[in-house]
Amino acid sequence: MTEEAKTIAFVVYPGLTPLDLVGPLQVLSGLAGSGLGFRVVVVGETLDPVATDTPLRIAPSHTFDAVPTPYALVVPGGAAPTLRALTDTTLVGYLRDAAANARFVTSVCTGSLLLGAAGQLDGLSATTHWMFRDLLPAFGATPVAKRWVEDGRVITAAGVSAGIDMALHLVERLAGAQVARTLQYGIEYDPEPPQGPLDWSAPPYGDLKPLREHALREGLSDAPELLERLLARA
């Protein structure tokens, strides 16, 4: 297998959530440094830095054109900017083409909606951030309330920090459990959140529902048909 065939491409676009990208990137960069023939790249439409939903800007290492056939694809998510990106024909076209021959196609948070827009979730089980999970059927997917969901070669992660879990699972699929365990030790990933574990029987959905509708309306203001289709599921 050539080095190019083992390229793991992280996709960036304006307004993404940094942890969606950086968490899995840190894990899989460890895999790239393991001597097993993998490499990690960050791809964008151009090499210009892109804004995120924080003050941080991220500069791609390669353009889409430079990495047309990655071995694995990782798509981060976000809020309104990610919804806006659903209508970005260049981005969605790259995802569609790059996914066609990829061994693994993965996403974090609402990155799964971008995979759906690229036609990669039709007939599959998938997940995303819990606040947007019920939108997945609009893209042909069956929503599943899990930290990550693997259906064939497609692996989708739930919100933000779940991308680290997904990436460790992907390392296990690519290089085995021992390598994944070693990398987990390397990043000292052993969560003990200050507020304790989340109670998934009672997420604060009512408090956040207006935020979701605002994100939909802001992100899709120029795509009224898609906006109405998704609002109908909101």
**Positions marked catalytic:** 109
Q: Can you spell out the DSSP letters for 107-118? A: EETTHHHHHHHT
Cβ 144 vs Cβ 112: under 8 Å: no
Q: Are 37 and 103 in contact (CB under 8 A)?
A: no
C-alpha to C-alpha distance for 141 and 183, rounded to whole angstroms: 31
Only one residue has tokens 């509708």, namely 213
Nearest to 128 by CA among 79, 86, 172: 79
* Residue 111: other Cβ atoms inside 10 A: 30
63-69: list long-range contacts, CB under 8 Å, 24+ apart.
64/90, 64/94, 64/98, 67/7, 67/9, 67/41, 67/43, 67/98, 68/97, 68/98, 69/4, 69/98, 69/101, 69/102
User: Is 101:45 a contact under the CB 8 Å cutoff?
Assistant: no
Does residue 140 contact residue 121 with C-beta atoms inside 8 Å?
yes
The two tokens of residue 173 are 């699929």
Q: Is 170 in contact with 183 (CB distance < 8 Å)?
A: no
